[in-house]
Each structure stands twice: as structure tokens, then as C-alpha cells.
Amino acid sequence: MARLFGTDGVRGVANRDLTVALSLSLAQAAASVLGEHARSEGRRPIAVIGRDPRISGEYLAAAVAAGLASSGVDVFDAGVVPTPATAFLTADIKADFGVMISASHNPAPDNGIKFFASGGHKLADEVEDQIEAALSKPFLSPLGAGIGRVQRFADAEDRYMVHLLGAISNSLEGLKIVIDCAHGAASAISPQVFADSGAEVIVIGNDPDGLNINAGFGSTSMSALQAAVLEHNADMGFAHDGDADRALAVDANGAIVDGDQLMAILALALKAKGELARNTLVATVMSNLGLRIAMKDAGIDMIETKVGDRYVLEQIREGGFTLGGEQSGHIIFSRFATTGDGILTGLMIASEVKRTGKSLQELAAQMKTYPQVLINIKGVDKSRVDSDKGLQEIIREAEAELADTGRVLLRASGTENLVRVMVEAADEGTAHSWADRIARVVEKNLAI
């Protein structure tokens, strides 16, 4: 039987895969596992629930709240807030766990449920397995006064915004910034935070109707932000995804500044201020070669993890590091957040622009982006990626020619029957040439 939890909670098409019955049962199972510590101390467990504005989130949040309350958990319903807000609020009120209902950058028909442990941290795999196992056991069924209460978390947004504003030490006055909220969870909070920080704010993608989340706006559709930055002659723009745990940027010329470039800017800034813990940046194997070279030139160590922000988070926690993230714009500042936070990322970047007096384009130029070609090959035996001799031979040949000016990465997909071939090189032609050659070998040698 396939594992219910994926890399970021339980996801699927709402009302088909993610049903009311499953949501209710998941909440009851989570209450039995994540509320155990509170019950052992003789107190009632407390949970925070947040959601993005997609239409299915309304009934899913109700189902989760019902499952928790019926299991003796007191619920604080924060309503529509970003994923990092749910994580922060869980820690801020010392709740026993938190629940975020969101499918992040996915389209509106999808939704998901993910849990945060006390302190706002993502769950370890073994805890998710315990929750999944609890689905087949009797649920808690308290009576009378043992039943939990559900109440509106009235000051949830204010708490989170005060927290964000406290993360930067300088005003953003004089900066004109476009914010693309992806018709998602950041629609109310992000523009207000940037305005409160002193910036002149132009907002797009901030009219969620439950069905338009991530549609034509946000970090997966950057053209709207690029056009708005140029139209309004803004200094920069930031695009969130549906649950605002990521951000990508656009400079004054309309050029996209991706997560790798944002991490480079922030790592160099933190190092200069003596705030980059253990002089180390944590990124994934998919980060651009240019990031590795920029960090090496600056004397900054770089640790690579598997793809997925949860693996970046695990490494940050284990090593006590300050900063890490992904090319997609999931960036984690361990001093201020326990998960990726797109609003915080935007504030930090804008703060650095204001502090240095340099444009975002100048700061992004501290990292040269190498051409990166990615080819997905379907219908092959992904289990033989590391063992096929012919494939390993051509990879060695490519690596020998590219040397320090390029990189080859092959990854078997964790969810699909496909292999990803990624090649970076000093020029586009070389990257395409090697990617095509390696892809042909994959298709021939690993054919099913």
C-alpha cells in the first residue's frame, strides 16, 4: 500500500482524493498522536488551523476542526493565512501542533493537509507514519467537558505581521515594490506588511475568489509581475505562491531573480554582518552551479540536500545553520522562521537593497547563472539509473569535459516513472548538447 503522506503532507484533488471522511479521520488520528504529550501532562491539547483561500479549504477546515474537537483538542482557527503564519502561530501560542490546509502552488481543484509539530516544525517521517497507523485504530471519543472547543484566532494576522516587521531593522521608505499575491493566502497580509515597512506598494493578484488561486499570477506565472514592475517603474517586485511559503523576484528591468540568486544575496549579506551561522548555506542538488561558484569565491561553505524544502529544513536544524533554500524560492531563515516564508524573503531582500543603496539587479549580479537544461524521460526503468554501465560511462565523459565549468545530475523521480537529466555548462549550446546525448542513452539503455 502506498504511503499516504507525500513530501509535503497529504495532497490530492479535493472531494475525490481528499474527502471530508479522510480529512476528519486524519484530524482524529493526528489528535491521538500529536496530542499525546499534552494528555500525559494532564492538560487539553491545543491546535492552530490555517488555510489558503481555495474554495475546498472551507469545508476541509471545518472537517479538520470537527475531528480535532471531537478528539478533545481545543482549536484556534486562524482562517486564511500563509503556511509560515500557521507555523509561527503554532510556536507563538505554544500550541501542541498546527494544521495547514493548502496545496501551495497547485491549481484550485487540488488541496492538501499538512501538520506542524510543537514549535511550528514539520513532522519527521516517523511521526507521519504514526499518524497513518493511527487511522486504523480506535479514535479518541471524550464526552461532556472532555470535548474540545473551536474558537476564532482573532489576532492571528496581527501577531504574524508584527513578527515579520520585527525581522528587518531598517525602513523601506523610498522603494516602490510590486507584490503579486497569486490570489492566495498572502493577499491581505503581504501588501500590508510592505506598506507598514515604509515601501510604496502596488498590488496584483490579490482578489481571491476561491477558484483563481495561482491562475495567471504568482511565482509559477511571473509574466504578470514582470509587466507590472515595468508599467509602474518599480524598483522591484515579489511573487508569492498560493500559500506564500516562497517568493521569486523581478528587478527594475523586468528580469526574474530566482531562489538561487536570492540565496546568494542573503548569504553574502549575512556573512558580511557576521550572522551566517558556521559560514554555511544549505541548498539542494538542483541549485545552479553559479550559486556554488559564488559561495566558493566568497569563502562560504555550501551543503547540498535532496530536492525538497523538508530536507533543507532537516539539515538546517541538525547543523544549527542560519540560511537555506531552493531554486523555487523556498527560503528558510532559521532565526525567524521554521519553514519557508515568502513574505519574510521579500522583506529581507528589499531591506538589503535599501541598506546597500544598490539595485536588485546589482545585488543579483553577485552570482552568475549558468545555463541549465532539464530533460524528463518517461517510460524508462528508473531503478537502473545508478547501475547501468553505459549510462555511467557517458556521465563520466561529460563530467571530464565540463570539469569545473559544468555539472551533470541524474535523478529518478520519487512519484513518477521517469528520469530527470540536468546538465549545466558555461554556454547554452554545450548544456543542450550533453543533455540530449545523455537523454538518448537513458532512453536506449533503460527502456522498459
For residue 366, what is its C-alpha cell? 553577485
CB distance 83 to 104 below 8 Å: yes
* Cβ neighbours of 428 (radius 10 Å): 12
32, 56, 104, 197: which is the annotated catalytic residue? 104
Beta bridge partners of 282: 303, 324
Strand order in the sheet with 10-13: 10-13, 110-117, 97-101, 46-51, 74-80, 150-152
104 among known catalytic residues:
yes
Q: Tell me how far CA of residue 226 lies from CA of 189, 221, 229, 234, 238, in angstroms.
A: 21, 10, 5, 10, 10
* Residues labelled catalytic: 104
